């Protein structure tokens, strides 16, 4: 049973560019959340998707957007990249919107130059 | 607002000794509490959770945590530390009122020496 898978694992972008990160949830999970983990910090909640809709959002600007597909997979898009967007982006899935523990992927390491 | 505090950036223990990693929280409603572990350049692995019931929760790899409502704490413990326990540990909380997002602490690095 595959866990949460994310792609790409590493990527480098320059300021002003746009990036798309992808996530496939654990089998049987329908809720996907995205977190940003800056170096030396704990993960910060970006947003959560359920039934293809954004259900909850953290304190992130509109440059951060997402999407969930009918197969429950999800994308995180970041526009107009800033140096401060450099971080590990973690995708997590859970079996229901009600919560419980999250299952995390290995993350996508984004470096903005 | 929800918040989690992990007061220690680093905890050092000798192998075979008991370990404690501290966590305190603040929520409006009833807390759902979690501990995760992260190894270098990896994602987070779930260790244990408290939702309701017994205040002492047992989890993976011999870890346990004690929920203390009066002190709003959820400290992670292990009776006998292993060198392989060395990693970054995160406490997280979810408020049943505020939503289903997890709010994480800044993390505590556990270093177990042989």
The partner residue sitting opposite B90, judged by closest CB among A42, A48, A109, is: A42
CATH of the domain at A11: 2.60.40.10
Model pLDDT for residues B1-25, shown as the tens digit of each residue: 789 999 999 999 999 999 999 999 9
By CB neighbour count within 10 A (0-12 exposed, 13-18 middle, 19+ buried), where does B67 fall?
buried
Separation in Å, CA of B45 to nearest CA in chain A: 7
Neighbours of B54 (CB within 10 A): 9
In DSSP notation, B44-79 reads EEEEEEESSS-SEEE-GGG-EEEEETTTTEEEEEES
Res B60: pLDDT = 92
Res B42: pLDDT = 83
Give me the half-sphere count of Cα atoms (radius 13 Å) on the Cβ side of residue B49: 15
Are A41 and B46 inside 8 Å of each other by CB? Answer: no
Res A76: pLDDT = 98
Interface residue B90 vs chain A (CB under 8 A): yes
Whether A109 maps to a domain, the answer reads no
Separation in Å, CA of A16 to nearest CA in chain B: 26
Phi, psi of B61 (to 5 degrees): 60, 25
Residues of A in contact with B51 (CB under 8 A): 100
CATH of the domain at B60: 2.60.40.10
The partner residue sitting opposite B32, judged by closest CB among A40, A48, A99, is: A99
Are B45 and A104 inside 8 Å of each other by CB? Answer: yes
Whether A39 maps to a domain, the answer reads yes
The partner residue sitting opposite A33, judged by closest CB among B46, B51, B101, is: B101
Whether A89 maps to a domain, the answer reads yes
Which structural domain, as residue segments, surrounds residue A12?
A: 5-96
Residues of B in contact with A109 (CB under 8 A): 41
Whether A101 maps to a domain, the answer reads no
Nearest-by-CA chain B residue for A6: B43
pLDDT confidence bin for B40, thresholds 50/70/90: confident
Nearest-by-CA chain A residue for B43: A106
CA angle B23, B30, B52 (to 5 degrees): 85
Which structural domain, as residue segments, surrounds residue B50?
A: 3-113
Model pLDDT for residues B41-75, shown as the tens digit of each residue: 788 999 999 988 889 999 999 999 999 999 999 99
Q: Specify the 3-state DSSP secondary structure of A84.
A: helix
Whether A105 maps to a domain, the answer reads no
Asked if residue A43 lies in contact with residue A36, where contact means CB atoms within 8 angstroms, the answer is yes
Number of separate domains in chain B: 1
Model pLDDT for residues B68-97, shown as the tens digit of each residue: 999 999 999 999 999 999 999 999 998 766
> Which residues of chain A have a pLDDT value below 50?
none
Number of separate domains in chain A: 1
Nearest-by-CA chain A residue for B109: A40
Res A98: pLDDT = 62
Question: How many pairs of residues across A and B have Cβ atoms under 8 Å apart?
Answer: 58
């Amino acid at each position: 049973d595959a866990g949460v898978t994310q792609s790409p694992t590493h990527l480098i972008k320059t300021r002003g560019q746009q990036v798309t990160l992808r996530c496939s949830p654990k089998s049987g999970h329908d809720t996907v959340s995205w977190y940003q983990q800056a170096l030396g910090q704990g993960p910060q909640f970006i947003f959560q998707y359920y039934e293809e809709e954004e259900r909850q959002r953290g304190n992130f600007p509109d440059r951060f957007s997402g999407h969930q597909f009918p197969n429950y997979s999800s994308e995180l898009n970041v526009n107009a990249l800033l140096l401060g967007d450099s971080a590990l982006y973690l995708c997590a899935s859970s079996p229901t919107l009600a919560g419980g523990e999250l299952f995390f992927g290995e993350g996508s390491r984004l470096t903005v130059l | 607002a929800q918040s989690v505090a992990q007061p220690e950036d680093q905890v050092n223990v000798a192998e075979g000794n008991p370990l404690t990693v501290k966590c305190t929280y603040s929520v409006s409603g009833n807390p759902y509490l979690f501990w995760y572990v992260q190894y270098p350049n990896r994602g987070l692995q779930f260790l244990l959770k408290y939702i309701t019931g017994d205040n002492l929760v047992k989890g993976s790899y011999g870890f346990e945590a004690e929920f203390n409502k009066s002190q709003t704490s959820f400290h992670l413990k292990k009776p006998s530390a292993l060198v392989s326990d060395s990693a970054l540990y995160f406490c997280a909380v979810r408020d049943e009122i505020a939503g289903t997002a997890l709010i994480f602490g800044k993390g505590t690095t556990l270093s177990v020496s042989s």
